[in-house]
């Protein structure tokens, strides 16, 4: 693919990713994505012959990798899960506040809307969440937790983080994230 075509594809994905996170699957129209990307309609179907669902799937994968990057960056400075999880929460809180609470989890909005009705997108969301859980479980195992305990703690941490993001976005306050961070730290101290 030519450089120009790759750039157009990337702009479409980024526009969709941003709009989906703020407005959800049903609130994001293709015309809005095209306008935000500055791309003609033909480009959409050239790069995404599967239409909106294919574009959304790619946007979700890109968003998932964004959070992977946040976790990886926090992991470089953290000596274990007790430092990593609060650092990830802080990064997500900063991202949310900077966006005026228009951003939360880049996957949750779509997952909540389509998980029961769109198998392909449900699968993309499930894989992203599973990857995040495996990543957290790996850090917990490195901290000395057994495999089963690490998996369960990782699922608990992910559920608390996701719930805190939803509550923080709804309240337009980072307080739920700060509270979740304190509870997760206490849970890890006991574990």
Angle at the Cα of 36 from the Cα atoms of 168 and 161, rounded to 5 degrees? 20
pLDDT for residue 188: 86
d(CA 70, CA 112): 22
Two structure tokens written together for 4: 């120009």
H helix count then E strand count, the chain: 9, 0
> Which position has the token pair 């996701």?
162
Angle at the Cα of 152 from the Cα atoms of 121 and 115, rounded to 5 degrees? 15
In contact, 109 and 21? CB cutoff 8 Å: yes
Asked if the model's pLDDT at residue 100 lies above 80, the reply is: yes
From the number of C-beta atoms within 10 Å of its C-beta (0-12, 13-18, 19+), residue 117 rates as exposed
**Residue range 60-81, pLDDT digits in tens:** 999 999 999 998 888 888 888 8
Two structure tokens written together for 188: 């890890």
Q: Which of 175, 20, 27 is nearest to 97 (CA)?
A: 175
**Residue range 3-52, pLDDT digits in tens:** 677 999 999 999 999 999 999 999 999 999 999 999 999 999 999 999 99
pTM for the structure as a whole: 0.91
Two structure tokens written together for 66: 């964004």
SS3 content of the chain, % helix, strand, coil (to 5): 80, 0, 20
Catalogue all structural domains in the chain, each as residue range(s) with its CATH number: 53-190 (1.10.357.10)
79 DSSP 8-state letter: S
The sign one gets for the Cα dihedral 126, 127, 133, 137 is: positive
Asked if the model's pLDDT at residue 191 lies above 80, the reply is: no
Two structure tokens written together for 33: 């994505």
d(CA 123, CA 131): 12
d(CA 75, CA 84): 6
């Amino acid at each position: 693919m030519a450089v120009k075509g790759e750039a157009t594809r990337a702009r479409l994905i980024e526009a969709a990713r941003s709009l989906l996170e703020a407005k959800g699957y049903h609130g994001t129209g293709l015309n809005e994505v095209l306008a935000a990307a500055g791309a003609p309609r033909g480009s959409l179907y050239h790069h995404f012959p599967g239409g909106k669902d294919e574009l959304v799937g790619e946007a979700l994968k890109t968003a998932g990798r964004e959070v992977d990057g946040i976790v990886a960056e926090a992991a470089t400075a953290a000596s274990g899960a007790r430092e990593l999880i609060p650092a990830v929460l802080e990064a997500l809180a900063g991202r949310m506040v900077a966006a005026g609470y228009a951003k939360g989890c880049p996957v949750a909005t779509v997952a909540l809307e389509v998980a029961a009705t769109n198998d392909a997108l449900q699968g993309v969301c499930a894989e992203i969440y599973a990857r995040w859980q495996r990543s957290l479980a790996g850090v917990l195992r490195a901290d000395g937790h057994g495999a089963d305990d690490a998996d369960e703690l990782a699922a608990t941490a992910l559920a608390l983080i996701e719930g805190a993001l939803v509550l923080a976005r709804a309240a337009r306050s980072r307080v739920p994230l700060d509270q979740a961070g304190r509870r997760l730290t206490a849970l890890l101290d006991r574990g």
